[in-house]
Amino acid sequence: MRMRIQELAESADIIVTTYAMLKDDKTTFNRIKWDRVVLDEMQEIRSSTTDHARACEKLLCDCRWMVSGTPLYTSIDDLNGELAFLGVLPFCASDQSDGFWSMHVSKPFQRRKPEALQQLNCLLKGIMIRHSKSQTYVDGASILDLPESSTRRVPVEMTDSEKYLYQCKFRGVMLGVCFRVLAPL
Amino acid sequence: MLCPFTLICVADVFRLVLMAEMGLGKTIEILALILSTKKARGSARSQPSKVQERLQEAKGGLKAAQGTNPLKGGNDEQWTGEWGTTSENDTAQTIAAKCSKARGVKVLPSFIVHLNSLAFPSLTIKMRFRKGTSIRLREPDAAGVGDVSSRTRKQRIKEEDVHEGLGGGAPAPEAMLEDGPDASAAGLQHGAAGDGVVPLDAYGRVVAQGGTLIVVPVHLVSQWLCEIEKAAGSALSVTKYTADNKLFRRCALTAGGASLEAYAYNAFKCCAFLTNFTACRSQGVRWLGGRVPRAGGAHAHANPGAC
């Protein structure tokens, strides 16, 4: 597997992999110097202490991108863990080792101090690009041109084993119902 | 490895400057505070210029660092005997790259800009590396021409001499953070492709050079392939590499692990109420095509049509 990944890395322009795969084969992935690494759904690594986050952080690369529709999954502190991948010091340093984030961003933000927002603005302006569906190109065309959605219901024939399982479940449920109905009598 | 004292100094200054940018104080005052603190350690001289003052403080710091073991508790045998040094012609970007490599620290463009603005005129950053590690530093990109970080330190010193002010050449903090071209020229992660850093791992072994790696959750893999195809405008040649063996092994090893559906079409029929291979094996259930494979065993799919 390792050899295949390395061969693939040299021959392919783009490689799509999963977080689980990256974690399992981190030694292989770490031995490749990537031009660019893109993390989709970056909230997956919102805690910088998880194995997934550590595996991503150790990747050798020139450019690091993160993509997400929900960068703040639970709280503002998610950003702290996510920035660890980008290496935006001192914002990415964990509170266990540093305390900068907690002192200057997290706690002021919780106390609803305007300085916290200013700092976050200052940080995010430099590292974040936000796109929305309403955005257009210079010529006025929408950046997201989706066709009309259409829904079609296609009945699927169950296989033998699926039928077997279904029948078992069905009988179980029917028995349960019968007992409940008959029990008061 | 970078002399820790120097690094701490630079990092502290960087942090304080960053804090100052954010309205927590004034840059100049904080810098002055740092310098005055260091001055108390070194030899006080008669009113040198601010640039000279900084030089003296930097030298004082290096002397102090030389007197201590930078690898506290470390084993010197792991390290090269000689210290690498930066030269005066090094750009701030180059120095930052060295710092980055030596410490594993990611370097921001703002850090590089501030490294310039700090302007230690002949600051010699002493470095040493783990044995077997070789680092080749790149020349600044053509894209970086005109950027603060691409000027040599000699040029900066000349300009500093003219300005004779703390951080005189540094851009405004807001502009610095917003400035896209600066960020790309300096490289959020120390450089773009072909940055001259030889792809070696920590033990000096050559590694492969890859293109773009996209890491996605499992359920979005097919969507990404479609998106890439759309963006490329043509059909892609896709090679799929799966970790079947590994999944299979884990399936057999882990109680309550992966469900049967991926591999055991017939297992539903054989043991419809068991949830995993371990349970199957513990109850002595046999596959139609043979026994349930052991951990690390051969890749033995059941025959889907045999049941």
Which of A51, A159, A161, A165 should one mutate to test binding to chain B, selecting the residue with the greatest count of B CBs within 10 A?
A161
Instruction: State the pLDDT at residue B114.
Output: 44
CB A4 within 8 A of CB B241: yes
Q: What is the pLDDT along chain B (307 residues), one digit of tens a residue?
A: 444 433 334 444 444 444 434 433 333 333 333 333 333 334 334 444 554 555 555 445 444 434 433 333 334 444 433 344 455 556 656 665 665 555 444 444 444 444 444 444 333 343 444 444 433 333 333 333 333 333 444 444 444 433 333 333 333 333 233 333 222 222 223 333 334 444 555 555 556 777 888 899 888 888 888 887 777 766 666 666 655 444 333 333 333 333 333 333 333 333 333 334 444 444 444 443 334 444 433 333 333 333 2
> How much is the CA Rg of chain A, to the nearest whole Å?
25
**Mean predicted lDDT score pLDDT of chain A:** 83
A12-39 average pLDDT score: 84
CA distance to partner chain A, nearest, from residue B98 (Å): 15
**CB-based contact, A143 to chain B, within 8 Å:** no
Which of B12, B112, B215, B246 should one mutate to test binding to chain A, selecting the residue with the greatest count of A CBs within 10 A?
B215
State phi, psi for B131 to the nearest 5 degrees: -60, 140
A4 pLDDT band, cuts 50/70/90, is low
CB B53 within 8 A of CB B120: no
Question: Cα(B46)–Cα(B222) distance, rounded to whole angstroms?
Answer: 70
A76-81 average pLDDT score: 84
pTM of the model: 0.43
Instruction: State the pLDDT at residue A151.
Output: 85
Instruction: State the pLDDT at residue B23.
Output: 39
Put simply, the answer to whether B269 touches A161 (Cβ < 8 Å) is: yes
Instruction: State the pLDDT at residue B222.
Output: 82
* SS3 (DSSP) at A118: helix
The residue count of chain B comes to 307
**C-alpha angle B164-B166-B170 in degrees, rounded to nearest 5:** 105
Instruction: State the pLDDT at residue B89.
Output: 58
Residues facing A37 on adjacent strands: A64, B213
Instruction: State the pLDDT at residue B105.
Output: 44
**CB-based contact, B188 to chain A, within 8 Å:** yes
Q: Is the pLDDT assigned to residue A152 strictly greater than 60?
A: yes
A91-109 average pLDDT score: 79
**CB-based contact, B110 to chain A, within 8 Å:** yes
List of chain A residues whose C-beta atoms are within 8 Å of the C-beta of residue B176 = 126
Put simply, the answer to whether B268 touches A164 (Cβ < 8 Å) is: yes
| Tokens encoding B84 | 């690498």
Instruction: State the pLDDT at residue B207.
Output: 67
More confident residue, A28 or B119: A28
More confident residue, A25 or B169: A25
Minimum-distance CB partner of A88 among B108, B173, B273 = B108
CB A88 within 8 A of CB A124: no
Put simply, the answer to whether A62 touches B173 (Cβ < 8 Å) is: no
Least trusted range by pLDDT, from A20-34, A42-56, B103-117: B103-117
List of chain B residues whose C-beta atoms are within 8 Å of the C-beta of residue A14 = 211-212, 214, 228
> How much is the CA Rg of chain B, to the nearest whole Å?
29
Instruction: State the pLDDT at residue B232.
Output: 73
Residue in A closest to B176 by C-alpha = A126
- If one counts every other C-beta atom within 10 angstroms of the C-beta of residue A119, the result is 22
Cβ-Cβ contacts under 8 Å for B204 (sequence gap 6 or more): B132, B133, B134
**CB-based contact, A87 to chain B, within 8 Å:** yes
